[in-house]
Chain A
Amino acid sequence: MKRTSRISAVGVLGALLVTATIIGAAFGQGEPVYGGSLSIAYTSTSPHIDIQATNQGSLSESAHYIYETLFDRNAEGDIVGLLATGFEISDDGLTYTFSLQSGVTFHDGTPFDAEAVKYNFERKISLQLPTWDSIPWDSIEVVDPLTVRVHLTAPAPHIVPVLSSKTWSMYSPTWAEAVGPDGVKSDGVGTGPFTVVDFRPNDTLRLARYEDYWQDGLPYLDEVVFRVITDANTRAALLESGDVDLALGLPVPVTERLKNDPRFNVQSALGARQYYMPLNNTKAPTNDVLVRQAINHAVDKEGIIRAVFLGVGAEVADAVYMTPVVDGYVPAGTYEYDPERAEELLEQAGWTMGPDGVRVKDGERMVLTLFTRRGSVTGDFETAELVQGMLADVGVEVDMQVLESASFVPAVTVPPEDSTYHMANLTWGTVTGDAEYVVSTIYRSDAAAPRLYNRAYYSNPEVDRLSDLSRQAATIEERNAIYAEIIPIVFADAPILQLFNSIEFLAANARVHGLYFEPAFSNWPGKYAWKTP
């Protein structure tokens, strides 16, 4: 016999999830004004706006203007219903029943209903689009036009956070069928507050108010224009000159200056993105845990944050890949900056100081290859230079290679036997805001690149075993209890150089009001934004 209980999504989810940290509230005050155009400078170099086909942050920034998901996060970072009004879980945790918002239409007039949800789920699954396999699908059932039921082969309490990530956006089935997998790349038809007017890759994305938007009175703006400005300093310049109203991914020196300028508002919040460098666990000398721990001790994380992020743009990370806004996170610790300890560990590992200031073992000099990009995220290059300098202090030479994205990504997306790096300068974003994504796609040994994102090629059978166990857990609490065992194990193994969690900044002209910043997704729902003339 199956027992179900109908509960409001908001209530349950609020209890389920750890509240995200929000610094600062929504911009501005007063009575909203209708009309006007908002221009946004951002970094996306994505050649398409096919959000179901990617889980990259830069695309999700514009996607939520066009598309909506079943669930969303509010200003406090809690998961709330959006296109779904609530859901029920069966006792065995294998069946989820979602009730849907009524009166919603896609931009092309197609009604949003259970069939549309089923279509979109099946589209993600059949095209094997990002995170489709994080949910153990069995079948999808249309109960009635406003109710859809998902049957699973195993419990998956993370299904709600997963479905709240932007890559699970709802496309108009009529449109998606008509234009095919290529057509959805250059256009967008969703249920969101804005419709696509014009999309020019690497240039502009022009959106207009959707008159039949289901949330009464929203949005306020007539037009939103996203401008791709790859250079962070230029974005800052455009914001300061009034050419754009809003800018993202600004260098910290700029946001610090804008904070003191009454013409601008700056919000910042700890995000779900961590700066890290995988230490190749399959390649000597970083296959030695002592060496990996030594590297962690040799790097002054606080110092880098002071120099590169002016002390305000990041916080020292205390768990591998996870930031405090991720559900399931527990603090595991930090490797204190202690060059003496680092040298001890290196000595212990058999690396003695050579005549040229570089350590040697069995006649081999300690030279580590570090791959980095420049400007792919704030401060990446500067951080790499400082790490290089700090490791030199303990006798580790770093051969830094600055690569274009076109070479960098393939070079760090290879099987372990083909890998040529000891370290790579990367960031990790937990796109679902849920620890399951971390454990399944980067902790586990079967997540090793190129299949998934474990680019350190970290492998610990105990972690794999506990991770298997966690997949039987029916509730988030039960699962999180197992994760709380896994996280410290991974920390002790030091698979990566654990750096810092980024603080995301959103800077806007003071005329822009109503926006709030949800950092886990880099989300600033434009439907609430309004602009004084």
Chain B
Amino acid sequence: MARYIFKRILIGIPILFFVVTAVFFAFRLIPGDAARIIAGDEAPQERVEQIRRDLGLDRPALVQYGAYLAKLSRGDLGVSFSSRRPVAVEIASRFWNTFSLALAAITLATIVGISMGVVSALFRGTIADHVVTLIALLGISIPVFWLGLLMMQLFSVELGWLPAAGYGTWRHFVMPTITLSVFSIAFITRMTRSSLLETIQQDYVRTARAKGVRERLVLLMHSLRNALLPVTIVVGLRFGYMVGGAVITEEVFAWPGLGRLLILSVAQRDIPLVQGLLLVFATSFVIVNLLVDILYAFLDPRIRHR
């Protein structure tokens, strides 16, 4: 197992290296001037040149790249162009905001998604199944930003129940959590339903049923555990994506998270910060993938005993 984990980590490193290199050079090919942004609209040209020298942007790209890699190998993500604070600090100050939102959303999605999926599979063909199926279809079809706008209009503007935006109390979490989770709820529902139906058809379940145990209990006892294996993967992958994929939800609700930081740092050509953020997104994805694999191995006896 340890060897397997080690191998997985080794696979992750070239991914991260590629990301760093691609972003570094891509942002140097394009128009846009970090020094000018920092200096401001009305700053004199000399001031801009001064800032450019301060940031080391006047050195050749390869020299800058080498310096960046050297620092990165020591775990130093560099300093944000715009705030002059360490990139690690900038990211850390926002990481929890995004992480907590993603955690809330994936929890909601897992509970609601699995429940709906189980109901749908157990009562296959009934009206309950059709309703759940339709809800799930709408869930993967509704544009998240539109859902966010509609909820904001209803619950904040018309009814005044929930704050329209920002980060703070649990009330701030309600709408962003629903918005971020709605696609995952639908996805997990569909996954649970089909996986459960597939498992029910399998032989050992039929055998158990033949022994005369009450049918629904059999389903829950025998099928759910096996059926939830693929669901585990889906939940894990969705969570891995949520850390970076909350961009639009964060934008709608002005959530002070990593996604908004990415939009802002891209706009400000804050290359160290963009690189740092993309590294964090890629790393969290790689880690979640790894955890999912381990969990999967742990849950699935066929893999565990191998």
Contact with B along A157-197 (1 / 0, CB 8 A): 00000000000000000000000001001100000000000
Interface set, chain B 29-52, CB cutoff 8 A to A: 31-34, 36-38, 40-47
Contact of B36 among A202, A409, A453 (CB under 8 A): A409
Inter-subunit contact A243/B163 (CB<8 Å): yes
**Given the complex, which residues of B lie within 8 Å of A130, measured CB to CB?**
42-44
Tell me whether A82 is interfacial, beta carbon within 8 Å: no
Tell me whether B301 is interfacial, beta carbon within 8 Å: no
The stretch that binds B, out of A69-77, A227-235, A293-301, is A227-235
Tell me whether B177 is interfacial, beta carbon within 8 Å: no
Inter-subunit contact B44/A451 (CB<8 Å): yes
Report the interface size for chain A: residues with CB under 8 A from the other chain: 40
- Closest beta carbon of chain B to A454's beta carbon, Å: 12
Inter-subunit contact B269/A406 (CB<8 Å): yes
Contacts A55-B42, A453-B42; A47 near B82 (Cβ below 8 A): yes
**Given the complex, which residues of A lie within 8 Å of B269, measured CB to CB?**
406
Complex formed: what's the CA distance from A55 to B80 in Å?
23
Tell me whether A4 is interfacial, beta carbon within 8 Å: no
Inter-subunit contact A128/B32 (CB<8 Å): no
Complex formed: what's the CA distance from A406 to B85 in Å?
19
Tell me whether A532 is interfacial, beta carbon within 8 Å: no
Tell me whether A260 is interfacial, beta carbon within 8 Å: no
Complex formed: what's the CA distance from A129 to B43 in Å?
8
Contacts A200-B93, A404-B32; A237 near B163 (Cβ below 8 A): yes
Contact with B along A279-303 (1 / 0, CB 8 A): 0000000000000000000000000
**Given the complex, which residues of B lie within 8 Å of A452, measured CB to CB?**
44
**Given the complex, which residues of A lie within 8 Å of B194, measured CB to CB?**
none
Tell me whether B21 is interfacial, beta carbon within 8 Å: no
**Given the complex, which residues of A lie within 8 Å of B156, measured CB to CB?**
237, 240-241
Contact of B82 among A202, A230, A409 (CB under 8 A): A202
Contact of B85 among A54, A129, A201, A240 (CB under 8 A): A201
- Closest beta carbon of chain A to B276's beta carbon, Å: 14
Interface set, chain B 212-231, CB cutoff 8 A to A: none
Q: Counting chain A CB atoms within 10 Å of each CB, which of B31, B36, B46, B256 scores highest?
A: B36
Contacts A203-B93, A451-B45; A45 near B264 (Cβ below 8 A): yes
- Closest beta carbon of chain B to A239's beta carbon, Å: 10
Interface set, chain A 210-238, CB cutoff 8 A to B: 229-231, 233-234, 237-238
Complex formed: what's the CA distance from A393 to B45 in Å?
39
- Closest beta carbon of chain B to A456's beta carbon, Å: 15
Complex formed: what's the CA distance from A56 to B42 in Å?
7
Inter-subunit contact A54/B164 (CB<8 Å): no
**Given the complex, which residues of A lie within 8 Å of B32, measured CB to CB?**
404, 406-407, 410
**Given the complex, which residues of A lie within 8 Å of B267, measured CB to CB?**
404-406
Interface set, chain A 16-71, CB cutoff 8 A to B: 45-48, 53-56
Q: Name which residue of chain A comes closest to B171, CB basis.
A: A241
Contact of B34 among A48, A54, A185, A406 (CB under 8 A): A406
Interface set, chain A 386-417, CB cutoff 8 A to B: 404-407, 409-411, 413
Tell me whether A450 is interfacial, beta carbon within 8 Å: yes
**Given the complex, which residues of A lie within 8 Å of B84, measured CB to CB?**
47-48, 182, 185-186, 201
Contact of B46 among A128, A202, A238, A406 (CB under 8 A): A128
Inter-subunit contact A47/B44 (CB<8 Å): no
**Given the complex, which residues of B lie within 8 Å of A55, measured CB to CB?**
42
Inter-subunit contact B164/A241 (CB<8 Å): yes
Tell me whether B168 is interfacial, beta carbon within 8 Å: yes
Complex formed: what's the CA distance from A3 to B31 in Å?
57
Contact with A along B257-280 (1 / 0, CB 8 A): 000010010111100000000000
**Given the complex, which residues of A lie within 8 Å of B82, measured CB to CB?**
47, 201-202
- Closest beta carbon of chain A to B85's beta carbon, Å: 7
Complex formed: what's the CA distance from A129 to B156 in Å?
45
- Closest beta carbon of chain B to A68's beta carbon, Å: 22
**Given the complex, which residues of A lie within 8 Å of B81, measured CB to CB?**
47
Inter-subunit contact B164/A234 (CB<8 Å): yes
Tell me whether B108 is interfacial, beta carbon within 8 Å: no
Contacts A237-B156, A238-B166, A243-B168; A450 near B83 (Cβ below 8 A): no
Q: Counting chain B CB atoms within 10 Å of each CB, which of A56, A233, A406 scores highest?
A: A406
**Given the complex, which residues of B lie within 8 Å of A48, measured CB to CB?**
84
Inter-subunit contact A413/B36 (CB<8 Å): yes
Inter-subunit contact B163/A241 (CB<8 Å): yes
- Closest beta carbon of chain A to B257's beta carbon, Å: 12
Complex formed: what's the CA distance from A214 to B16 in Å?
55
Contacts A128-B46, A130-B42, A201-B85; A409 near B37 (Cβ below 8 A): yes
Complex formed: what's the CA distance from A182 to B50 in Å?
12
Contacts A45-B268, A202-B264, A234-B165; A409 near B31 (Cβ below 8 A): no
**Given the complex, which residues of B lie within 8 Å of A129, measured CB to CB?**
47
**Given the complex, which residues of B lie within 8 Å of A185, measured CB to CB?**
84
Tell me whether B254 is interfacial, beta carbon within 8 Å: yes
- Closest beta carbon of chain B to A37's beta carbon, Å: 14
Contact of A54 among B40, B46, B251, B268 (CB under 8 A): B40
Contact of B31 among A200, A238, A411 (CB under 8 A): A411
Inter-subunit contact A237/B264 (CB<8 Å): no
**Given the complex, which residues of A lie within 8 Å of B168, measured CB to CB?**
243
Complex formed: what's the CA distance from A241 to B267 in Å?
29
Contact of B268 among A229, A233, A405 (CB under 8 A): A405
**Given the complex, which residues of A lie within 8 Å of B36, measured CB to CB?**
406, 409-410, 413
Complex formed: what's the CA distance from A182 to B41 in Å?
20
Chain A to chain B contacts (Cβ below 8 Å), 10 pairs: A53-B47, A56-B41, A129-B47, A186-B84, A201-B84, A234-B165, A237-B152, A238-B164, A410-B31, A410-B36
Extra contacts besides A128-B44, A229-B165 (20): CB < 8 Å: A45-B264, A128-B47, A186-B84, A186-B85, A202-B264, A229-B166, A231-B254, A238-B164, A241-B156, A241-B166, A243-B163, A243-B168, A404-B32, A404-B266, A406-B32, A406-B36, A406-B268, A406-B269, A409-B33, A409-B41
Which 3 pairs, one residue from A and one from B, show the smallest C-beta to C-beta distance?
A: A237-B164, A234-B254, A201-B83
